[in-house]
């Protein structure tokens, strides 16, 4: 049956054409997608207290796994790379990851869920022009308020890549706190494959920057 032929009565499109184009890799990907949807369909909301624990677990387990994964492509990195980084911050703003070059990086981070700034509204019953009490605003250098351990936070995976045509491109994906090693690989492997494609493109263009060849040129 060709793609242009009509379907038989009761036949679904995927039944008629799916087997014509699906390689074993695509079949495995289809099973993995179904597993992710079933397992993480209901997102978990993290408080700062739980988020700090989740980030500590990422540091303990993902760091070594990330080094093993990056070893696959480290020979294609420019001189001085890869660089593994951990800013040591336990709460929001904390991040651990790797820079594959000056133009490619991947980090796991904990971010605060900041609501949009509230519009200032005078208290109810105050007439225009009447004085009313205003809560003092913290100035630079002033004491920080105690952290709200129940404030919502999000665990994310960030990949950053420089594109000559579009500039810096950031991809931000939420990382479910129930993650396992397979889910981490789902985030890391596409980044490594994309980096390898970019490295080979630089080589073909005569601007290869791997340690085995000439220094990196003026751009990615």
Query: What pTM, to 2 d.p., does this model score?
Result: 0.70
- Strand-pairing partners, residue 156, are 109, 174
Sign of the Cα pseudo-torsion (185, 190, 196, 202, in order) = negative
Q: Which of 176, 143, 182, 158 is nearest to 99 (CA)?
A: 158
The percent of residues above 70 in pLDDT, for the chain, comes to 72
Query: Minimum mean pLDDT among 47-56, 158-167, 205-214: which range?
Result: 205-214
Residues 137-150: pLDDT tens digits? 777 877 878 888 88
Residue 119 pLDDT more than 60?
A: yes
The confidence score (pLDDT) of residue 7 equals 43
Q: Tell me the average pLDDT across 129-140.
A: 71
**Residue 19 near residue 30 (C-beta atoms within 8 A):** no
Answer whether the bond into residue 89 is a cis peptide, omega within 30°. no
- Which has the higher per-residue pLDDT, 188 or 124? 188
Predicted local distance difference test score (pLDDT) of residue 89 = 94
Domain limits, the chain: 43-112+150-220
pLDDT, mean over the chain: 78
């Amino acid at each position: 049956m060709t793609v242009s032929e009509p379907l038989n009565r009761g036949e679904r499109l995927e039944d008629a054409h799916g087997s014509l184009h699906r390689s074993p890799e695509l079949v495995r990907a289809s099973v993995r997608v179904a597993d992710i949807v079933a397992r993480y369909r209901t997102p978990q909301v993290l408080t700062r207290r739980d988020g700090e624990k989740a980030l500590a677990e990422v540091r303990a387990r993902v760091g070594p796994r990330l080094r093993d994964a990056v070893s696959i492509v480290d020979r294609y990195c420019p001189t001085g790379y890869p660089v593994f980084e951990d800013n040591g911050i336990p709460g929001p703003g904390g991040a651990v990851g790797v820079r594959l070059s000056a133009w490619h990086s991947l980090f796991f981070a904990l971010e605060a869920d900041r609501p949009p700034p509230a519009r200032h509204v005078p208290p109810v019953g105050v007439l225009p022009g009447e004085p009313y009490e205003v809560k003092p605003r913290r100035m630079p250098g002033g004491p920080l308020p105690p952290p709200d351990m129940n404030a919502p936070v999000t665990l994310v995976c960030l990949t950053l890549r420089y594109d000559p045509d579009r500039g810096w491109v950031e991809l931000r994906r939420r990382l479910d706190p129930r993650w396992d090693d397979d889910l981490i690989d789902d985030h890391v492997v596409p980044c490594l494959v994309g980096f390898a494609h970019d490295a080979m493109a630089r080589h073909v263009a005569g601007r290869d920057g791997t340690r085995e060849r000439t220094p990196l040129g003026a751009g990615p």
